[in-house]
Amino acid sequence: MSFGEPNNPYGQPPQGQQPGYGYPQAPQGVPQQGGYGYPAAPPVSPYGAYPGGPGMVPQSMPGLLTTARVFLYLIAAVQILAGILYVYAASIASDASDLASDYGSGSDNPFEDIGDFAAGAAIVLALIFLGLAALSITLAVKFGSGGQGVRITTVIYGALGTIVGAIGLFIGLDSGLATAVIFPLIWVTFGVIITLAPVVPSGTAWFSRPRY
């Protein structure tokens, strides 16, 4: 058996023929990608697709966003409770104003004016808290389908809540009472997580994902 025969599988390949069982080989100096002529796949980001980066589209809500969503529901519950308490306080102030009007002498009874003012102020605070509760619930619900508008609103809402909680925390620390520090500290923690959740890459990818 001669190694020079053209049909000899053990012989040297003829001039100009490239080895590789029929598959074309990459030119000199060009690295072959992926094997068998197919290009290699791009790296996949663990957080899914986000603006300016490749990767798979996230299929489920990231854990930090889920935590922020739960916190929004808890904040809404506290706000609803506060609104109900202020409505109750307004009714008490209104009853006190009526009693002062019945037992008072003259039309310029100061107790009646104080009761009316307290009732009005309590109603305004109740409306504010109930409106904030509606906003908290709306943002939490929209986490599943909302886009950049929900993301930006959540960041602003969380930042404002953090500022309010920080003010309460400083007041509590100045008072020296441990009970005056616990609630503002919890509020600051909630606000920070709600603010950061839509800003981190996983949160940005979630709100930037395509919707079909």
**Residue 25 corresponds to which tokens in the numbers above?**
């080989």
Q: What is d(CA 128, CA 125) in angstroms, rounded to the nearest whole number?
A: 5
Mean pLDDT on 94-121:
74
Weakest-pLDDT range from 6-15, 39-48, 147-156: 39-48
- Evaluate whether residue 140 is within a structural domain: yes
- Evaluate whether residue 40 is within a structural domain: no
**Residue 104 corresponds to which tokens in the numbers above?**
């008072």
- Evaluate whether residue 194 is within a structural domain: yes
Mean pLDDT on 163-171:
92
**Residue 125 corresponds to which tokens in the numbers above?**
């605070």
The residue behind tokens 């001039």 is 15
Per-residue pLDDT tens over the stretch 34-69: 455 555 555 554 444 444 444 556 678 899 999 999
Residue 176 has a pLDDT of 76
60 CA to centre of own chain = 13
Mean pLDDT on 107-122:
78
Q: Which domain holds residue 175?
A: 63-208
201 exposed, middle or buried (CB, 10 Å; 0-12, 13-18, 19+)? middle
Q: What is d(CA 90, CA 84) in angstroms, rounded to the nearest whole number?
A: 10
Average pLDDT value over all residues in the chain: 78
- Evaluate whether residue 50 is within a structural domain: no
More confident residue, 151 or 116: 151
User: Whole-prediction pTM value?
Assistant: 0.68
Number of domains the chain is built from: 1
